[in-house]
Amino acid sequence: MNEPTQPIVKNNPYTISGWAFFDWANSAYALVITVAIFPGYFAANTPDRIAIGGGSISNSTLYSWCISLAYLIIAFISPLLAGIADIGGKRKQFLRFFTLLGSLACISLLFFTSEKTMWVGVTGFILATIGFAGGIVFYNSFLPQIATEDQYDKVSAKGFTYGFIGSVILLVINLIVIKKFAFFGFTEEAKAIPAAFVMVGLWWIGFSQIPLHRLPNDSKGDMPDGAMKKGYSELRKVWAIVKRDANTLSYLSAFFFFNAGVQAVLFLAAIFAEKELGFDTAHLIYLILILQIVAIGGAELFAYVSGRLGNKTSIMVMLVIWTGICIVGSMVTNGPQFYILASAVGLVMGGIQSLARSTYAKFLPEDTNDTASYFSFYDVMDKVSTVMGTFVFGIVEQLTGNMRYSVMALAVFFVLSLLIMWRVKVERMRV
């Protein structure tokens, strides 16, 4: 393994705050592009039906399948990237590459202005998503380098906090520019929206210079032999262990189904609100701000519930709520109803994602030295389940011509997960 160019001092506040600024930088993409503004803009600037080959699909189906394709690519290359990050010693080089890819792809969305430039929007969105997810692999891989194990939770929480604050600040700035479009020199609101995509790209690449400056430098020399294969071999090793433990396999199956539903809701709620309820961009931003604020309290609430009733019970309560959200969501007819529904999503959004990961940690073999490999396996499952959820959402709408049936189909994921979780025991796997 290559040696770093200089000794690394762990728990250095200057380095840790620099690391957290990467979350500040790239969370703007996660909130503004994937959740708040781009989905509705995409629906408004593409035809309802899009001719592809000898047939046609709806614009919302195309959008959901863009997410599926991006995450399919990410799921495939993620183990390769994990191997590079683990023993390749080139974390900063690849962090810089994926940051540049994602931010420039966001800026390219400026040129997506109508049906004629639809494929610019499609390509830019897919590349930005790959840049975001690829960068996260290397961002996470710095954590063991800059902090001792007893500080992981504290440092990780700092990154989450920076990401939340930064993305909300930029989203509010976007809202001001869009609502006060004339003051900023735009002739109409619709022409101000692409400026938000450019702001995300500049914000992302600009603030990422802080971590790129402060984080430890890459190792000298060439990448060691086998670095690019290591991630795949680690996945095979973990799978060989997991498949022999029926209880752990059941938990991961439950996670796969409910994460498919959760990710589909988060990615596609905005395009549903725009097409089915007529939400404009400003109202979508209000919606996401409500969701983000409620999510903070929701994560704390279910952390408390988990402490009192246990992880399994807490997750099952949230799965019941998620099932209700999908059933009710398929029937909402106006804005106020959808705002209430968004508050319910916020209540269980942060809680189920954080609790799912911490619960999985309780299944890992005691005193294992391969926690990174186990979590790499978990992260690949996360991405593949995202592909499943968004693909099913799109295929149901394609077959039925009604997005409300797609929302109802997501309830099936949560019900399946609930039935599987009923039999799960939260205990360490046997190896």
Residue with tokens 């189904």: 257
Helical residues (DSSP H) of 58-208, grouped into ranges? 59-83, 91-108, 118-141, 143-146, 152-179, 189-207
Q: What is the rounded average pLDDT of the residues 243-270?
A: 92
19-47 pLDDT tens trace: 999 999 999 998 888 888 999 899 889 99
Residues 6+ apart with CB under 8 A from 233: none
**Per-position b or e across 298-328, b if 16+ CB within 10 A of its CB:** bbebbeebbeeeebbebbbbbbebbbebbeb
Q: What is the rounded average pLDDT of the residues 372-398?
A: 90
Q: CB of 129 within 8 A of CB of 109? A: no
List residues bridging with 55 in a β-sheet. 52
pLDDT averaged over the chain?
A: 88
Which range, 135-144, 157-166, 280-289, 379-388, is most confident? Answer: 379-388
Q: CB of 83 within 8 A of CB of 227? A: yes
Q: Which of 71-75, 150-154, 196-200 has the lowest mean pLDDT?
A: 150-154
How high is the pLDDT of residue 116?
Answer: 92
**Per-position b or e across 202-228, b if 16+ CB within 10 A of its CB:** ebbbebbebbbebbbebbeeebeeebb
Q: What is the rounded average pLDDT of the residues 153-177?
A: 87
The CATH topology of domain 1-225 is: Growth Hormone; Chain: A; (1.20.1250)
Report the alpha-carbon distance of residue 107 to residue 1 in Å, rounded: 37
CA angle 352, 152, 93 (to 5 degrees): 100
User: 183: buried, middle or exposed (CB in 10 Å: 19+, 13-18, 0-12)?
Assistant: exposed
The CATH topology of domain 226-431 is: Growth Hormone; Chain: A; (1.20.1250)
Report the alpha-carbon distance of residue 111 to residue 105 in Å, rounded: 11
Helical residues (DSSP H) of 280-332, grouped into ranges? 281-309, 311-329
Domain boundaries, the chain: 1-225, 226-431
- pTM of the full predicted structure? 0.85
List residues bridging with 385 in a β-sheet. none
Q: What is the rounded average pLDDT of the residues 301-313?
A: 84
The alpha carbon of 10 is separated from its chain's Cα centroid by a whole number of angstroms, namely 28
CA distances in angstroms from 348 to 11, 123, 168, 303, 305, listed in the order given: 32, 32, 19, 11, 12
229 vs 111 pLDDT, higher one: 111
Q: What percent of the chain has pLDDT over 70?
A: 94
Report the alpha-carbon distance of residue 186 to residue 192 in Å, rounded: 6
Report the alpha-carbon distance of residue 297 to residue 282 in Å, rounded: 24
Same fold, 1-225 and 226-431: yes
174-193 pLDDT tens trace: 999 999 999 999 998 888 99
